[in-house]
Chains A and B, each alone.
Chain A
């Protein structure tokens, strides 16, 4: 187990370097000159442009810029944005908000998704099952931004149950609605995935054995059925956490939540290399760590899966 974890952690290094380099290259190949763009419609003043370019290190060859960025990164320096603010500060503002939002959404889809999935799986073909199937189908087929705008319009403008946008991004209560919107799509997937595996496992040999042994129903469902059914669901949830963090762009925009999505969107618009690379790097790490956790969870859920 320890060796497995060590090997996985080592594998992260090339992945990490590869992704940052790729993002770096992509950001710098965006059309337009970010420094000249600072001048708006006015012609850029060459002396000022030259100095700013030097200040941001943009006058060096791309690979040297990348090398400088990488070495800075290992010293904990994420570089600075065009506003002169350290990118680390920008991220320190944005990540706590998005982590809250993502965890809320994650919690919603975990609890609701698995319970709805179990419910519909056990009551296959019944009215509840049909109803949830139709509902999830609707959610899956509507884009997130439509759900977002509809929710905002209905709850915020029409019935005035909530304020149309989030006034304080750190307030968990206000983040509930955007989190629900963010969770909607994955919630539907989790429900369907859980339902399918539950239905499959209900016919499995070990279930028949468990029932035949006369185990109480609670134990049959709670330990034997759930534990086996959750493996694919956990895989999905693991990668989904990374998705939620990155996918918050749309939801954060609609509800004016000042998180990572909004920061990233702005940084891409202004071709702010260090900011984009910094945020995406952290997102990549979130992905890597959550997939490692998923792999480790397999062993917990199914003792037959062993890591050497």
Chain B
């Protein structure tokens, strides 16, 4: 999950109402033949970054979008969510434990410094070091020697990760403390971006004036709260050379204000239109409106750390509640088609998605719902609440879900609104939840493991339910040790199918990107991360 801001966004996608157009790419503009200015710049909706622009410290969308344009990692995902090599010539591993990375030749940073193996290894060592308190340091946790560099308490006993070894300028090896089959996938993340030598002299100053190796470089100073300008980096060696002159990230506090600018062509690309205009944005923008699925979902989770919900027979109750919810209808009515009914824990556009993994339990069957709830000894107190944050626009679907539960099972159900996302998160991480709550996830990378291991492994970072199952943990370990991603995916399919037996959370919806762009640009496409393919955007003359 990309941080607080993005979760509010996910949230934002919800309330909604829209015209009854079928989902699918937001196609091409009518005057697609307009002449293109290869040096033209365009503006991109953004929020002021919360943290300094150091890759290992950027974990929210505002800063993330800028960093992703200034830097290129070893690998990244293409528009369809397929992994490809970027700065790496190859990343090979015989056992998913030791990886050999060979770099492409001739890449440089924006200041002319050549990109070498040390650019990566030093940056990772710095990012993992507890002394530097980087928000993304846990991404290095799989690398051998992480505990010494980042102990849970006290000062680190080493300042270099044991598992990183430089072979020569263009090659280095990564040794993990245990096999991870999706480690190569993970390498796309911001935390793994390389840094030039100048960074270590003045990390603070670098945060204001980042120097990357990506297709765009900073243009002028970062005008805080106003905009961050980038321009095409002419010496960029990657395959995704920009078809435009640069991206200007324009900062807004209110998405309504941004949307008004979008409609008046004062803003060129907005990756998520505000909830308040869901039922009109397709009319406003015509074929410049985009509506497609992305790698995010919405579930209802249960506090399995509470004595009542921890009882094994309550799995039946959770299955029963799931059966009582008519997802299709809610998606069409309360959500006005802004989401799709979920049939499992992994969204459709994510690699490793298997249809119907939740099986019969995600179908609508009121009769069976009652039966199962009864068999499981009923809901504690015959009443559940669903906690959600008001600032994200979740009320409509929560109320609809509760209606279904009330009408179809006789269990009392009400929404439990909390003022802010931050407050709900604090209650969840401090394990203060007593009844059901909203749980949303946006992919870190488009693979089933990111949706399952990150949320359902014992003690995992986003396991909000405190769900724990030895059998599933073992399976996930096996998956990590699998030789190929395909093999790993197959094992995750089993894990997902078994989740249905215990139902720690109820899958509800798969989320949509609802974006739009102005008349000044064309060829605007969005990937499964809900990001525009920045380099592909063409600016009309």
Contacts and interface: CB of A to CB of B under 8 A. Distances in A.
A47 B425 contact: no
Interface residues of B, number: 53
Contacts of A89: 224
A164 B264 contact: yes
15 contacts: A31-B423, A40-B60, A41-B4, A48-B133, A82-B50, A83-B51, A90-B224, A156-B264, A157-B264, A164-B257, A164-B260, A252-B253, A253-B254, A254-B257, A266-B253
Contacts of B204: 84
A253 B253 contact: yes
A178 to B, nearest CB: 11
A52 B133 contact: yes
A267 B347 CA distance: 34
A262 B225 contact: yes
B3 A40 contact: yes
Interface in A209-239: none
B182 interface: no
Given A47-B151, A94-B225, A163-B261, 11 more contacts: A38-B50, A40-B6, A41-B4, A41-B440, A42-B461, A47-B130, A48-B130, A50-B153, A51-B131, A84-B204, A164-B261
Contacts of A85: 224
Contacts of A258: 225-226, 251
Contact of A265 (B52, B251, B253, B258): B253
Given A47-B153, A263-B225, A38 B49 contact: no
A271 interface: yes
A225 to B, nearest CB: 44
A157 B266 CA distance: 11
A151 to B, nearest CB: 12
Nearest to A265: B253
B422 A165 contact: no
A64 interface: no
A68 interface: no
A157 B260 contact: yes
A256 B252 contact: yes
A2 interface: no
A93 interface: yes
Contact of B420 (A55, A253, A269): A269
A262 B226 CA distance: 11
B135 interface: yes
Interface of B: 1-7, 48-52, 59-60, 130-131, 133-135, 137-138, 150-153, 204, 207, 224-226, 251-254, 256-258, 260-261, 263-264, 266, 419-420, 422-423, 425-426, 429, 440-441, 461-462
A165 to B, nearest CB: 5
Nearest to A153: B260
A174 B1 CA distance: 38
Contacts of B461: 42-43
Contacts of B5: 40
Contacts of A160: 264
A46 B3 CA distance: 17
A83 B153 CA distance: 24
B425 A37 contact: yes
Nearest to B50: A83
A266 B135 CA distance: 20
Contact of A41 (B1, B150, B152, B253): B1
A94 B223 CA distance: 12
A41 B135 CA distance: 12
Nearest to A254: B257
Contacts of A164: 257, 260-261, 263-264, 266
The 9 closest A-B pairs by CB, nearest first: A40-B3, A41-B1, A164-B260, A51-B133, A32-B422, A32-B426, A43-B461, A256-B257, A258-B225
B422 A271 contact: yes
B133 A55 contact: yes
From A43, A52, A85, A255, residue with most partner B Cβ within 10 Å:
A43
B132 to A, nearest CB: 8
A65 interface: no
Given A156-B264, A258-B225, A40 B429 contact: no
Contacts of A165: 252, 257-258, 260-261, 266
Interface string A19-36: 000000000000111101
